[in-house]
Structure 1
Amino acid sequence: MLNPKPVSHTNINEIKDYFKYAYKHMSLAQFTTTYLWRHSTGLLYDIQDDFLYLFEKRYNYSSPLPLGDGDIFRALEKVKEYKTYIGGNNLVYCIDEEKAKLFKNFYELNEEPDFFEYVYLKEDLINLSGKKFHTKKNHLNQFVKNNKYTYERINVEDIPLVINLLEQWNEKMGYSIDLNVEKQAINELLNYDIGVNYKAGAIVLDSKVVAFAIGEKISDDMACVYFEKADTSIKGSYAVINNEFVKHEFPDVMYINRQEDLGLEGLIKAKESYNPVFKVKNYSMKL
């Protein structure tokens, strides 16, 4: 039987290589997302028979699809056995469309629209061409016209300025557990080496960071923006970091994944406004 233990910095190297089996376009299935949010999920892992098994203790042992190159049905039986033993739920998630086709005759599958990930053409986000991007282009042009700013890659000296903006943003939004976990994740990524080739950039205005973004190339043709924050009192700040970050950091990809909307109306509106070309579907299933 599986015997999971907590994921921590001491076992990064043990688990990281298994993420090559994750669906390449799903940001939720990547190592960076999984690892950085481990404090929130109470992430546990075990490795058996060349499969990585993950369980989220704080979500009643929900689990992403096991990652490996062997018999996935046998691996799922191991997941079911452990969940039954521990009294956890029977849910498995991070299932892409191809895997959903494989499982549809064996398990109860459900689409998870709140976790569909918005994908954009890189060239659209850079050029903002055409009528459908008219408003975004105006916001960007206003910022450029009214502010003498620089785009800078975030270095060690910039981290306190980034955290300061994040703190201001959290205060404005009203502190919450989720925001504190996000702050912890950003702080860890910027201050500690977890073996991720991430990109981090900021808009600097009057020696202050007024916007920043952090992302990573997750496949040959796609990059993902994990975090993005801006001073909303400065009109166009989100538009400029969105544009400059992609332009400077990911010139060689076709697509930009800006993650899910969690079913939140504000996020839905913001993500739809940049005209996604498709969404990465996420399925869950009951064992």
Structure 2
Amino acid sequence: MAEIKVQDYTLKAFDLKAKDLMQQYLNDFDVNVSDYSFCANYIWLSKSSGFYAIINNTFCLFVMNGGELSMLLPPLGKPKDCYESIPECFKIMNENNSSNYYSRIEYVCDSFLEGFITYTNEGEVIFSSLDNYVIEKKLADYIYVSDDLIELKGNSYHTKRTEINKFKRVYPNYLVEVLDCKKHSEDIRILFDKWVSDRIKYVPKAEVDAFLDGIYQERLAIKRCLQDYEALGLVGLVIYINDELKGFTIGEKICSDTASVLIEKTDFEVLGCAQFIFREFSKYLKDKFDCKYINVGDDMGFENLKKVKMSYRPEKIIPKYTIYQKL
């Protein structure tokens, strides 16, 4: 991937070599939102072109789609530097783009947005109360207390406990292993193909194209996870029944007290498998990272996924926003 030059800036390719540098700037954030991670952006940029630049002492992550530049995160670094970098970032995007309509900053967490709105410089509210910007609320991350997901106490988790107990009773010979890319990659590919085949049967015809596009991206994301597993600092579990892979899950630590579940797939035909591996992975993440919270990302706007994530009683639902310019 080539570098691109916009104004006086050189935007460098967002690849594995950028990991340690980005992490330095993320350390100033310590945000428990799933998108604020090198890995979360790296794996999903398989279909797009990612670029970064250091602007005003902040790490700025751009994505090029169809020749248009936007930002996947707000500038990362110390708060004052971040807020003061935003106008410069919009200038870079505007200079490249065919229309200012395409210039935007996505996945802005609420804590950053609050500071962005109220930040003052020499007594004046920056951006004149955002006269030049439009802020749109988008998706939200679901965050749980680790112990809640492990212990599943109380009536609200009765169904989850029942599903797990039924799984253990029906499949007493299950085997849970720590994910090993050399050992498990081919089985993961086979299971993912089966998951797609089973899932597409229930997708409404009007949504098939969008579903297949999402699957293409997810397939590439899983491939990147497995190819660069150790370099990305990922952890995962797999579950076998009768020597056949029936589930896998991959995650990481994203801040001082929170781990994130990036991907989870199980065989639809094995009832209770999803609930079981989710609880086992919650145990693993807590033991591995001593994390108080577990973030499972957003629901991507799917009502069914929202219902599943709400059924686990999130401790926090953290909204994410997009910043646009007023045209």
Question: CA separation in 1, counterparts of 2:42 and 2:86?
Answer: 22
8 A contact 1:224–1:257 mirrored in 2: yes
Question: CA separation in 1, counterparts of 2:107 and 2:168?
Answer: 39
Bigger shift: residues 157-166 or 17-26: 17-26
Paired residue for 2:312?
274
Question: CA separation in 2, counterparts of 1:242 and 1:193?
Answer: 20
Give CA-to-partner distance per residue, 1:227-261, whole Å, 9 cap, x none.
00000101101011111111123232111101001
Equivalent residue runs for 1:88-103 within 5 Å: 88=100, 89-103=102-116
User: Judging changes above 3 Å, is the alpha-carbon distance between structure 1 residues 41 and 228 closer, same or farther for their aligned structure 2 residues?
Assistant: same
Structure 2: segments with no counterpart, 5+ residues: 1-6, 119-126, 201-210
The alignment's TM-score, normalised by the length of structure 2, stands at 0.81
Q: Residue 208 of structure 1: CA displacement?
A: 1.1
Give CA-to-partner distance per residue, 1:264-287, whole Å, 9 cap, x none.
111111111111111122122224
User: Judging changes above 3 Å, is the alpha-carbon distance between structure 1 residues 276 and 270 closer, same or farther for their aligned structure 2 residues?
Assistant: same
Question: CA separation in 2, counterparts of 1:211 and 1:229?
Answer: 6
One of 62, 72, 96 as aligned partner of 1:55: 62
Partner SS state of residue 54, structure 1: strand
User: Judging changes above 3 Å, is the alpha-carbon distance between structure 1 residues 13 and 221 closer, same or farther for their aligned structure 2 residues?
Assistant: closer
8 A contact 2:58–2:77 mirrored in 1: yes
Paired residue for 1:177?
213
Equivalent residue runs for 1:147-158 within 5 Å: 147=171, 148-155=173-180, 156-158=182-184
Paired residue for 2:41?
34
Partner SS state of residue 27, structure 2: helix
Paired residue for 1:130?
154
Paired residue for 1:80?
90
Paired residue for 1:254?
292
8 A contact 1:52–1:67 mirrored in 2: yes
Partner SS state of residue 250, structure 1: helix
Paired residue for 2:250?
214
Partner SS state of residue 29, structure 1: coil
Partner SS state of residue 268, structure 1: helix
Q: Residue 67 of structure 1: CA displacement?
A: 1.4
Question: CA separation in 2, counterparts of 1:141 and 1:194?
Answer: 33
User: Judging changes above 3 Å, is the alpha-carbon distance between structure 1 residues 231 and 124 closer, same or farther for their aligned structure 2 residues?
Assistant: same
The alignment's TM-score, normalised by the length of structure 1, stands at 0.91
RMSD: 2.1
Question: CA separation in 2, counterparts of 1:23 and 1:116?
Answer: 18
Bigger shift: residues 12-21 or 115-124: 12-21
User: Judging changes above 3 Å, is the alpha-carbon distance between structure 1 residues 274 and 111 closer, same or farther for their aligned structure 2 residues?
Assistant: farther
AA in 2 matched with 1:96: C
Q: Residue 48 of structure 1: CA displacement?
A: 3.5
Structure 1: segments with no counterpart, 5+ residues: none
AA in 1 matched with 2:70: S
